[in-house]
Copies of this chain bind each other. A is one copy, B any other.
């Protein structure tokens, strides 16, 4: 297909596609003349993934380039691919993440749950930091308080992964993983507020 068709199929403007080509995010098409090239289905899928990384995960162009290279390196390994696009796995050479001291509280939580989580996972730091912020105002909350919440998160994550298995293509699955995780977060928080109102009405309502 021509670049105009690629733009229509991916929903990305032609000027933006040209920018991604010049930045090396998108591999060049097959040249058919001095000024024209032919693009394939892989370009459509890769463009959608780029749009999700930049538009939804809010990565910079250079972080996106680095991430796409890492995804290409682990092609076929779905666990690695999902870890990379979701930010669960630090990019090679990410020294800040590599040198980090793991949180003892989060380690106890992960061990208690029997979860398989990389010691370098950025989600560990996110859990430790958000737990600390909570404890500053509610000191009686400990990692133990989180165990029942984590078990519900486990059930939620199974739903998430079920949603990904509706497609076979690794690039499409990576794109969908970003949409279903990042864009689902505000939906889940809103559902929780609705559910709290319902639970409060059930317990204390007249």
Contacts and interface: CB of A to CB of B under 8 A. Distances in A.
A194 B117 contact: yes
A78 interface: yes
Interface string A135-162: 0011000000110111011111111110
A188 interface: yes
Interface stretch (A38-46, A81-89, A93-101): A81-89
Contacts of A124: 194
A197 interface: yes
Interface residues of A, number: 71
A130 interface: yes
Given A118-B197, A127-B194, A154-B195, 14 more contacts: A79-B204, A86-B193, A87-B193, A115-B194, A126-B189, A138-B180, A138-B183, A153-B191, A157-B196, A157-B199, A160-B199, A188-B188, A188-B192, A189-B189
A57 to B, nearest CB: 12
A184 B56 contact: no
A93 to B, nearest CB: 20
A30 interface: no
A184 B134 contact: yes
A196 B161 contact: yes
Interface of A: 52, 56, 77-79, 82-83, 86-88, 110, 113, 115-118, 121, 123-124, 126-127, 130-131, 133-134, 137-138, 145-146, 148-150, 152-161, 163, 176, 179-181, 183-206
Contacts of A150: 191, 194-195
Given A146-B187, A149-B191, A205 B130 contact: no
